[in-house]
Amino acid sequence: MSYITISADITGKDSTCLSNARRCTRGLETLELYKNGPFPVDVVQQAVNVYDSAYEEGKSGNRSQIQRRKNARKVVTEMFKKIVSFLKSVATEEDIPALMQAGFNAHVPVYRRKAASAPVPG
């Protein structure tokens, strides 16, 4: 089995993070590989929904709502770290197209060997 790099892009602005989290959550529903994942898809969806509503409420500038948004984002981020870790443990190269279709970044890393340095004639 070869090593696969998998990630979910849940960084950047809240709007970008939410968009990518929604896309990956929808993808988990169809991902056969995730059947025995660490969280049921509806639990992930619920966490993303809480983050979404906290994001909308946080636009008002209310400090408690902004804190709620930060906490909700942290929950979603931690969930996706565990989901990605799980996917890395069960995925094979054949799963890469399905993972990408589900909204995850997946590829086999290419390692470059350092060329042996030849002595410079002098």
Task: Compute CA distances 13 → 17, 20, 39, 58, 118, whole Å.
Answer: 6, 11, 25, 13, 48
The pLDDT assigned to 120 comes to 57
Residue 31 has pLDDT above 70, yes or no: yes
Distance of CA 36 to the CA centre of its chain: 17
- In tens, the pLDDT along 56-110 reads 999 988 899 999 999 999 999 999 999 999 999 999 999 999 999 999 999 988 7
